[in-house]
Amino acid sequence: MKEVSVRAWHEDDDPALVDILRRQLELDQAWPPPYAHKQNLAEWLARPANLSRWVAVNPQGRPIGHMGLGVPAASHGDIFSRAIDRANPAFAELCRTCIDPDYRDLGLASLLTRTAIKHAISLGRIPVSTVLTNRTGWLDMMRRTGWTEAGRLPGSSPDDHLICLLPPHRFIEAAINR
């Protein structure tokens, strides 16, 4: 991997992150999802990440990736709670992941995911994720690393679904036993 580090997000990162999202749209009109195109992309990126945010940066300090961590929507939390058979556990959803197209396939999503998982567990929250079925790269990475499907909700289009993913059991236990 090119020399990359992860640090906490700050407001000055937004122009570079919006640029990444715009360049991403040129490659794949489905991400960010169509409803986000009508919004301020910096606000869209930040909205669900109410617990924390990180950026991966290149050696010059320019953001080349983003990951947020937030409290999941109630409907998602219900699915996760039923799947682990626990009443009212605290969850933290990995959200709004984006990677600069020039830095794809270098492990940045994995690096940002590990950072978010560690932080969620340090807060005593079970890390979870939701992903649209058309986001095959993210979905494949999560499944390869042991994440399992807890349930599905309708997505943003009739032929798409939102898949609710739970991490490997060791992460669930680590958060519960924190």
Q: What does the pLDDT average to over 18-39?
A: 80
> Could you tell me which residue, 103 or 47, shows the higher pLDDT?
103
Query: pLDDT category, 169, cuts 50, 70, 90?
Result: very high
Task: Read off the pTM.
Answer: 0.91
Q: What pLDDT is attached to residue 1?
A: 53
For tokens 């940002």, the residue is 112
Q: Are 65 and 55 in contact (CB under 8 A)?
A: yes
Q: What pLDDT is attached to residue 53?
A: 96
Q: Mind listing the pLDDT tens digit for each residue in 143-158? A: 999 999 999 998 767 7
Which SS3 state, helix, strand or coil, does residue 46 take? helix
Query: pLDDT category, 2, cuts 50, 70, 90?
Result: low
- CA-only gyration radius of the chain, Å: 16
> Could you tell me which residue, 85 or 38, shows the higher pLDDT?
85
% residues pLDDT > 90 (the chain): 63
Task: Give the CATH H-level superfamily of domain 5-176.
Answer: Gcn5-related N-acetyltransferase (GNAT) (3.40.630.30)
Question: Can you spell out the DSSP letters for 106-146?
Answer: SSHHHHHHHHHHHHHHHTT-EEEEEEETT-HHHHHHHHHTT
* Domain locations along the chain: 5-176
**pLDDT at 119 exceeding the cut of 70:** yes
% residues pLDDT > 70 (the chain): 97
**Token representation of residue 121:** 């567990």
Question: What's the full length of the chain, in residues?
Answer: 178
CA 75/CA 133 separation, integer angstroms: 18
